[in-house]
Structure 1
Amino acid sequence: MLAAFSITPIGSGEDVGQQVAEAIRIIRESGLPNRTAASFTEIEGEWDEVFAVIKRATDAVMTVSSRCSIMIKADIRPGHTNTLNTKVETVERYLAQP
């Protein structure tokens, strides 16, 4: 499974970088392939391990915020791995064609 998600602290003011960093720390320490962008983080692994990491990251945010919002988009494709990279590589290959 490849999941793109964001965990947004609510009621913590406009600057939520510190709270988000706590979530990203959990994600990076998970050992699962992941990539962080400006609005979403992508993580790849088995269903149970991906959602366990999302829960731990959410719990970390909730220790410093009284409320949060989570958005999750998942691509479940049994038998495929490394889609975190291969999906991007496919698009780049097409972009390189004249």
Structure 2
Amino acid sequence: MHAIADFCVIPMGVTASVSEYIAECQRVIEKSGLPYSMHSYGTNIEGEWDDVCRVMKECHEAVHAMGSPRVSTSIRIGTRTDKTGQTMQDKVNVVHEILAKDKK
């Protein structure tokens, strides 16, 4: 089943700046080969359900390996069966097309 997830990994019990931890998580995501888009408060990732969940687990493992004693993650996952082949970018493009009509 194809899934699009938005998740935010939160290292706990570490310094106030978590940029190094998030960079390591992004390395894990990049290595997965799944399409993704990092934003200011998390990452969108898409692929088969099991692959998406595996990558989120690997992010937890990587952040723990860096010394974070606790990791919390907020996750939203969407799936659909009425359409196939719609990507994260397709969803964004549709909204941009609607907004472009406002400027005409």
- TM-score, normalization: structure 2? 0.89
Q: CA RMSD in A?
A: 1.0
Aligned match of 2:59: 57
Q: Among 77, 95, 98, which residue is 2:99 paired with?
A: 95
Unpaired runs of 5+ residues, structure 2, are none
Q: After TM superposition, give the deviation of residue 82 of structure 1 in Å.
A: 4.0
* Equivalent residue letter for 1:84: M
- Once superposed, which parts of structure 1, at least 4 consecutive aligned residues long, lie more than 6 Å away? none
Cα distance between partner residues in 2 of 1:3 and 1:80: 16
* Equivalent residue letter for 1:46: E
Indicate the SS of the match to 2:34: coil
Unpaired runs of 5+ residues, structure 1, are none
* Contact 1:44/1:82, CA 8 A, preserved across alignment: no
Larger Rg: 2
Cα distance between partner residues in 2 of 1:82 and 1:45: 11
- The correspondence of residues 1-98 of structure 1 with structure 2, limited to 5 A, is 1-64=3-66, 65-78=68-81, 79-98=83-102
Identical aligned residues as a percent: 37
Indicate the SS of the match to 2:80: coil
